[in-house]
Amino acid sequence: MSLMPILQVPPPMKPDEKKALWMALNLAWELGFLIAVPAFVFGFGGAYLDQKWETSPWIALAGLFLAFTISAITIVKRVREVMRVTDR
């Protein structure tokens, strides 16, 4: 009796399954950027304009709201794209 655990090799994936897996992993990677980049740009841009025009915190809040909206729309589009490929 061997002390080595028995490893089962998974069956090979079909090309469509591989594509769906890579699209899902790519989406997971992109989510951070889809949320962070607009929040950073519009949040700090709004804070800069608030400081320049002395309107604190209104432009920064509007920028963050715009960033949230852009991120949500982009994420929904990307998730639909991945779902369309995985539903085949």
* Residue pLDDT tens, the chain, 88 long: 566 677 778 788 787 778 778 888 888 899 999 999 999 999 999 999 999 999 999 999 999 999 999 999 999 998 898 888 777 6
Q: How is the chain split into domains, by residue range? A: 15-86
Predicted TM-score (pTM) of the model is 0.73
Contact (CB, 8 A) for 59 and 50? yes
Amino acid at 60: A
Structural tokens at position 14: 């079909």
Q: What is the pLDDT of residue 18?
A: 81
- Residue 54 phi/psi, 5-degree rounding, is 55, 50
For residue 51, the Cα-to-chain-centroid distance in whole angstroms is 30
C-alpha radius of gyration, the chain, whole number: 22
The number of beta carbons lying within 10 Å of the beta carbon of residue 81 is 12
